[in-house]
Structure 1
């Protein structure tokens, strides 16, 4: 038995490249001048009859690839192994990872557990200026792993670790993955874009194309109706939302059962019990020139569902609090059942897309046997999920190449982009700041996928300026509205119509322009999207905007997503004369004039939740 705490010398023997004549340890920032070497990694674990090989390759100054391979003489259960390395805590002030936490400063512990349907394996550290200091990403976004780091008080170093095969894993003969190590001094968002592009180029990770319809504001029934759906009321909501610039309705949970207790004990037969004439409902929505998406909880069969006995012995585990079983996708019959449900629904009812929910529940249970036998054609649950979702997307696209598929956090990683084209922030009802953070975090790894906000809701008696903050905080993602439009005050309707119309007019800049979020440690108080002609700046906490990079633009807008009524533009040079328009949160013109953006500070009065438009 080969027990190892691998030394740098042994790793060099196993094939380290770029190692030189003697082991070296990296130091960040000076480390930009030297490659990240395989011999800076140690390994804990018992290899048993496997051989471990770690090599490294320098791609350019500050950018390296570490290749990890595990090889056995025959197929065996792989051992748990932990790769470790460390860097000094020099000029590091904050961190980023794709987890749902909003604390991006307490870097004592920074870790993420990932799989095909849960988060993405990447960690990033940066300095006070949001410049990347160390970003680490793992190529294996399919299998379960843990990537983390912690600050050790005794040496003030960040100690990184990558844990492979922590849970029981099917027998294998070979395993390979890569680790991307980026220490280039650039904005952290630019670094994460590079990580996203790196994943997208890998075999079997190619993202799905994003139809233009995925980039349209939508109405969602979840917060406004929950499971108490009524067709006539929803059609009225569609008529109102269409007037306000929304182009689709997402009919959420509740259509498939008369049970309204918020659990899933009766889910899994997927008959439109609450909406018997689903085809007629869809047709009426189409007559309004709107798309129709329908919600499904992919893994669940409720204990009271007619289909429950049909799949006995083909479940991963039971979710007691919700009264539902989780299907095992390693059985071809299970996969075919799930795919057939969506194919039939699209064919019979004319659906334009699906909201596929609870993907993260596809994971082994404590008693799951990880073998490909007894009717299972996969040993790994995660590999079977990959097959299931790949087949779903392929077969639905055969019938509709523009099919819309939505996933939400935490299943928003690089593999999920292959199966769907809409990635949504996790639930945060009436929490504008959290919605801003989650949409921004999702967008940082979202690439060309359509990034959607969690559905927006607020109390109908709230002041219109306060209600507007729900929309203004998610302007750099696709809006989903979920208030009862026929029950809110007229000024709320005017506010929604104005901002949705503004979003539609500026979609190219907001969703396809260069996106720069500022200060993740402060929950992104400034967000900027810009192309060659225009910039849109979301101001959420700061009073001052620095106009660097705007000198060649024809226009820039400032969204005042605050209750404060003045902003200051700080110019490092004379930008010349602009036409200024200031609007309130309902789109009413407050005042307009010509203004000189001279070098120095220029103050502009603007209403709470208002808009400043500057045009050369």
Structure 2
């Protein structure tokens, strides 16, 4: 591949929309393309705000997009991680598939407005996305390499929007057409065993934590790694048999039923495509797992083999049926990308994305047949729009004790989430730290479903009060946080002020020393995720009064301010606390 995009074979460009130029290349017959407004599905066929590029070609396809640099400052895409600026075109590259990110992105300017926002409507094929600043041409470019056999290939574009979030909302409408909503269980706070127990789980201790979690308001428990045979040592050498460790859970089905009796839905962790050499089934299945992944000690089963897909589907349905589970936490699906672009003897489909689509479709159908409405948790990076039919819980990638990463990743996932509910990574903290440190973790997860992963029975009283307060308040604010219109600001700034508005109410979380704009809402909850004891507000309307101020543990603070005048004002809010502003009638 050329070092820079300017060194590639030149191709004539045509105007696409706004300032975007397009070139389409194939090795064979010329490709044909068209651009049409996408209908919003109503009878009058009005546009939903997107334009859809449709490209038809018989061969491998290269789609080149370019836009003048203008005042561009950042480029967001689902696999951006911490690299959110306008990188050089020799540095920007993402390998995308159904289980690895998504073909989507948004270039934005210094004001946060979108300059180029797009998302492919076909999420399955293994696609290479190259992007960045063309030094020679003073443009920002995106080049997509799409394999043959995906014709017509369709990409939705959003017209210029005031923010990245606004542009992605427009695209989500088109991507999510016909998708049913997630079940109620996906919208409930979760207790996860992982950071609290690691692999040292066992019947009585897990059941007691589940009881305490239910009292705090959790509605789901996830039993993570360690419940299965050979589930010790933080390696994956023993994965494959997926039988309960009877020294930890003598009667696993009975344990599940007992915990469900506390009012919790019960999910168990499974990594069905990993195979370890210590598993009893290794001799039988190793022929289907020629490549190692990065999970230490394990090989990766190749989903392009029909035998592998059948094995995974039967395994997941068996676990739910045999132990009365309400669903599964399905891990390490992205490991299958080790087979992307590799020849596959014995494979009936050549493409990893296509194989995973077949496998997951059958898996969900089989699990639903056993447990209608089952919950399935998926994790970054396999939480893109193409996974919408398969996962109701879309979790941020692992970030233990990192409230900043949890905030950034949950917002990132939400920008493209069209069905499943966004979940934070499991929350852990130092139990010897002050209560506001625990609250800060909950604030980092505020705009997603929280997953608590502390040993509740071992927490100091102040920490338990803190967790109880924030879970209660999250439940009260849930309609705004999960269903409201979210505006997080520029991705490269890591979302220091995030608002979620629904009707005449708004929630604003503040994690950096910024002036916070408070719009013309009847009720506003302002959450102070900073280390300061005050926030600077820019109030838009008259008549807002401070009706409530709370410390990190939920204790009431006597407000120092009454009615707030429009314009700038300073408001006393304890670190990791909150204030409620209301228009009194």
Find the residue that maps to 1:93 and give its secondary structure: strand
Q: Please say if residues 259 and 266 of structure 1, whose CA atoms lie closer than 8 Å, have aligned partners that are also in contact.
A: yes
- List aligned pairs for 1:198-237, cutoff 5 A: 198-201=174-177, 207=179, 209-237=181-209
Residue number among 17, 28, 33 corresponding to 1:54 in the alignment: 33
Residue 277 (1) aligns with residue 251 (2) = yes
Deviations 1:422-480 (A, max 9, x none): 00000000111011100110111113421000001011111111221111111000000
1:606 Cα deviation from its structure 2 partner: 1.2
For 1:540 and 1:309, the matched residues in 2 are separated by 52
Distance of aligned partners of 1:208 and 1:406 in 2 relative to their CA distance in 1, 3 Å threshold: farther
Q: Please say if residues 192 and 223 of structure 2, whose CA atoms lie closer than 8 Å, have aligned partners that are also in contact.
A: yes
Q: What residue in structure 2 maps to residue 568 of structure 1?
A: 536
- List aligned pairs for 1:160-559, cutoff 5 A: 160-165=142-147, 175-201=151-177, 207=179, 209-273=181-245, 274-319=248-293, 322-363=296-337, 365=339, 368-370=342-344, 374=346, 376-548=347-519, 551=520, 553-559=521-527
Find the residue that maps to 2:206 and give its secondary structure: helix
Distance of aligned partners of 1:442 and 1:495 in 2 relative to their CA distance in 1, 3 Å threshold: same
Distance of aligned partners of 1:347 and 1:160 in 2 relative to their CA distance in 1, 3 Å threshold: closer
Q: Please say if residues 97 and 352 of structure 2, whose CA atoms lie closer than 8 Å, have aligned partners that are also in contact.
A: no
Q: Please say if residues 389 and 419 of structure 1, whose CA atoms lie closer than 8 Å, have aligned partners that are also in contact.
A: yes
Q: Please say if residues 302 and 339 of structure 2, whose CA atoms lie closer than 8 Å, have aligned partners that are also in contact.
A: no
Find the residue that maps to 2:388 and give its secondary structure: helix
Q: Please say if residues 6 and 42 of structure 1, whose CA atoms lie closer than 8 Å, have aligned partners that are also in contact.
A: no
1:314 Cα deviation from its structure 2 partner: 2.1
* Worse-superposed segment, 328-337 or 121-130: 328-337
Q: What residue in structure 2 maps to residue 75 of structure 1?
A: none
Q: What residue in structure 2 maps to residue 584 of structure 1?
A: 551
Find the residue that maps to 2:414 and give its secondary structure: helix
Residue 611 (1) aligns with residue 578 (2) = yes
Find the residue that maps to 1:363 and give its secondary structure: helix
For 2:377 and 2:127, the matched residues in 1 are separated by 25
Distance of aligned partners of 1:398 and 1:575 in 2 relative to their CA distance in 1, 3 Å threshold: farther
For 1:329 and 1:7, the matched residues in 2 are separated by 37
- List aligned pairs for 1:12-31, cutoff 5 A: 24-25=14-15
Find the residue that maps to 2:500 and give its secondary structure: strand
Find the residue that maps to 2:260 and give its secondary structure: helix
Find the residue that maps to 1:99 and give its secondary structure: coil
For 1:173 and 1:532, the matched residues in 2 are separated by 45
* Worse-superposed segment, 437-446 or 310-319: 310-319
Residue number among 121, 124, 141 corresponding to 1:139 in the alignment: 121
Residue 64 (1) aligns with residue 32 (2) = no
- Structure 2 residues not aligned, in runs of 5+: 1-7, 39-46
For 1:367 and 1:94, the matched residues in 2 are separated by 30
Q: What residue in structure 2 maps to residue 16 of structure 1?
A: none
Distance of aligned partners of 1:365 and 1:7 in 2 relative to their CA distance in 1, 3 Å threshold: closer
Q: Please say if residues 578 and 597 of structure 1, whose CA atoms lie closer than 8 Å, have aligned partners that are also in contact.
A: yes
Q: Please say if residues 442 and 450 of structure 2, whose CA atoms lie closer than 8 Å, have aligned partners that are also in contact.
A: yes
1:308 Cα deviation from its structure 2 partner: 1.3
For 1:581 and 1:248, the matched residues in 2 are separated by 30
Deviations 1:294-352 (A, max 9, x none): 00002112112111122243225234862222222233332222122222222221101
Find the residue that maps to 2:407 and give its secondary structure: helix
Q: What residue in structure 2 maps to residue 105 of structure 1?
A: 85
For 1:51 and 1:155, the matched residues in 2 are separated by 25
1:198 Cα deviation from its structure 2 partner: 2.1
TM-score, length-normalised on structure 2?
Answer: 0.91
* Worse-superposed segment, 153-162 or 233-242: 153-162
Residue 122 (1) aligns with residue 101 (2) = no
Equivalenced residue count is: 564
For 1:379 and 1:99, the matched residues in 2 are separated by 24
* Worse-superposed segment, 597-606 or 381-390: 597-606
Find the residue that maps to 1:147 and give its secondary structure: strand
For 2:343 and 2:73, the matched residues in 1 are separated by 44
For 1:445 and 1:522, the matched residues in 2 are separated by 19
* Worse-superposed segment, 134-143 or 264-273: 134-143
Q: What residue in structure 1 maps to residue 72 of structure 2?
A: 92
Q: Please say if residues 267 and 301 of structure 1, whose CA atoms lie closer than 8 Å, have aligned partners that are also in contact.
A: yes
Q: Please say if residues 94 and 125 of structure 1, whose CA atoms lie closer than 8 Å, have aligned partners that are also in contact.
A: yes
Distance of aligned partners of 1:449 and 1:570 in 2 relative to their CA distance in 1, 3 Å threshold: same
Distance of aligned partners of 1:219 and 1:63 in 2 relative to their CA distance in 1, 3 Å threshold: closer
Deviations 1:104-133 (A, max 9, x none): 234335443210101111111112222111
For 1:367 and 1:514, the matched residues in 2 are separated by 39
1:288 Cα deviation from its structure 2 partner: 1.0
For 1:241 and 1:466, the matched residues in 2 are separated by 20
Deviations 1:131-159 (A, max 9, x none): 11111222231011122322122332112
Q: Please say if residues 526 and 542 of structure 1, whose CA atoms lie closer than 8 Å, have aligned partners that are also in contact.
A: no
Find the residue that maps to 1:438 and give its secondary structure: helix
1:589 Cα deviation from its structure 2 partner: 0.6
Larger Rg: 1
Residue 156 (1) aligns with residue 138 (2) = yes
Alignment root-mean-square deviation, CA: 2.4
Q: Please say if residues 123 and 147 of structure 1, whose CA atoms lie closer than 8 Å, have aligned partners that are also in contact.
A: no
Q: Please say if residues 126 and 340 of structure 2, whose CA atoms lie closer than 8 Å, have aligned partners that are also in contact.
A: no
Distance of aligned partners of 1:499 and 1:62 in 2 relative to their CA distance in 1, 3 Å threshold: closer
TM-score, length-normalised on structure 1?
Answer: 0.86
Deviations 1:220-276 (A, max 9, x none): 111111111121111121122122111121000111123412111111101001423
